[in-house]
């Protein structure tokens, strides 16, 4: 650990846990930590593409907001978190990276009352090679979606705007998708409106208007980017309720996530949209997204030289 640069196992990824840096293969959470045992943890994920963080400030701001909502108080401030993330990427040397930041509850020390307020919260982070939620091949043909029977956990139980690992509903939806020969599940709320899917927001193109659900969802940063791009392109965009019946009859659908950008779909619940390929508005938004990224839109360059300096 004294000379991390000499350890080439960092090439598979680099992690930080509560003050210490290590190769990703060594990064682990104590089995007794409530961050694992009660999923008492919040997180965020920022992408690095061609050596640049995308909307780093937005991600760290949302991470802090999630921490406040769950009443986490780690010792690291926002500037330190940004420096930790940079250092994880720099240690790994990765140009395209999936960069996660977690804040875990910890666990009350032995003898303390068994209440989360008595635990010392801490930060973990890591950079690993870029992950595509939807593979480039599937992006080309368009994802096949279903609306799942399993309902999204409602906001009066777990606040979806505070990013969390409560994914059993989303995981169950993914098994429903598998059983029905599809790629991804969209989850509905108890009133039959679309919410989100496993790790992504969803957009519908209906009569040349782009719609995305207004409630029961993470306020995604790629979602926000899509809405900004719609503004640039003069495409009307609306944040509103989307009943399942409208979703199933949409002209086009696409998904938005950090780990994949703008990802078009071509089928929903067995219905083929358009020509069974990504629709033209989805493609236009996807192209614009990556073109803007390539031009440095909301980019923060990774400081790869930071490795030596911070050891």
Verify binding: residue 27, a copy of itself, rule CB under 8 A: yes
Verify binding: residue 254, a copy of itself, rule CB under 8 A: no
Record the tokens describing residue 26, joined without a space.
């060594």
CB of 2 to a copy of itself, least distance (A): 22
Pairing label, strands 143-151, 184-188: parallel
Task: Output the CA angle 88-93-97, nearest 5 degrees.
Answer: 70
The correct pick among 37, 68, 75, 271 for binding a copy of itself (CB under 8 A) is: 37
Other residues' Cβ atoms within 10 Å of the Cβ of residue 2: 6
CB of 195 to a copy of itself, least distance (A): 11
Residues 6+ apart with CB under 8 A from 13: 23, 24, 25, 88, 92, 94, 126, 127, 128, 129
> x-or-dash pattern for a copy of itself, window 128-157, by CB under 8 A?
xx-xxx-x--------------xxxxx-xx
Pick between residue 189 and residue 252 the one whose CB is nearest to a copy of itself: 189
Residues 6+ apart with CB under 8 A from 115: 108
Verify binding: residue 73, a copy of itself, rule CB under 8 A: no
**CA 249 – CA 32 distance, rounded (Å):** 47
Pick between residue 37 and residue 75 the one whose CB is nearest to a copy of itself: 37
CB of 258 to a copy of itself, least distance (A): 14
Considering Cα of 287, then 257, then 242, then 162, what sign does the dihedral take? negative
Number of chain positions touching a copy of itself (CB under 8 A): 56
Q: Label residues 262-298 b or e (16+ Cβ within 10 Å = b).
A: bbbbbbbeeeebeeeebbebbbebbebbeebbeeebb
Verify binding: residue 51, a copy of itself, rule CB under 8 A: no
CB of 7 to a copy of itself, least distance (A): 17
Question: Applying CB under 8 A, which part among 163-171, 246-254, 272-280, 285-293 lies near a copy of itself?
Answer: 163-171
Kind and range of the H or E element at 211?
strand 209-212
Pick between residue 113 and residue 234 the one whose CB is nearest to a copy of itself: 113
Site residues (CB under 8 A) for a copy of itself? 15, 17, 24-25, 27-32, 35-40, 43, 70-71, 102, 105, 110, 113-117, 124, 126, 128-129, 131-133, 135, 150-154, 156-158, 164-172, 174-175, 178, 190
């Amino acid at each position: 650990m004294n000379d991390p640069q000499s350890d080439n196992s960092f090439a598979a990824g680099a992690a930080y846990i509560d003050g210490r840096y290590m190769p990703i293969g060594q990064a682990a959470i104590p089995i007794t930590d409530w961050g694992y045992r009660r999923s008492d943890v919040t997180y965020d994920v920022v992408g690095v593409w061609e050596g640049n963080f995308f909307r780093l400030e937005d991600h760290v701001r949302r991470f802090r907001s999630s921490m406040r909502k769950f009443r986490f108080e780690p010792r690291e401030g926002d500037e330190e978190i940004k420096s930790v993330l940079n250092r994880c990427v720099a240690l790994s040397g990765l140009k395209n990276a999936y960069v996660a930041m977690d804040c875990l509850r910890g666990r009350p020390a032995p003898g303390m009352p068994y209440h989360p307020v008595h635990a010392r919260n801490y930060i973990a982070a890591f950079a690993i090679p870029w992950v595509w939620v939807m593979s480039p091949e599937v992006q080309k043909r368009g994802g096949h979606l279903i609306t799942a029977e399993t309902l999204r956990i409602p906001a009066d139980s777990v606040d979806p705007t505070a990013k969390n690992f409560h994914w059993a509903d989303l995981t169950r939806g993914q098994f429903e998708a598998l059983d029905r020969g599809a790629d991804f599940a969209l989850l509905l709320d108890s009133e039959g409106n679309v919410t989100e899917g496993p790790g992504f927001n969803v957009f519908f193109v209906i009569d040349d208007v782009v719609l995305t659900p207004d409630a029961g969802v993470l306020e995604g940063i790629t979602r926000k980017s899509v809405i900004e791009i719609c503004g640039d392109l003069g495409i009307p965009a609306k944040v509103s309720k989307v009943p399942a019946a409208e979703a199933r009859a949409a002209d086009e659908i696409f998904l938005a996530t950090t780990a994949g950008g703008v990802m078009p779909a071509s089928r929903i619940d067995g219905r083929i949209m358009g020509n069974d390929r990504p629709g033209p508005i989805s493609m236009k938004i996807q192209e614009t997204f990556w073109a803007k990224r390539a031009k440095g839109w909301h980019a923060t360059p990774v400081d790869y030289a930071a490795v030596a300096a911070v050891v």
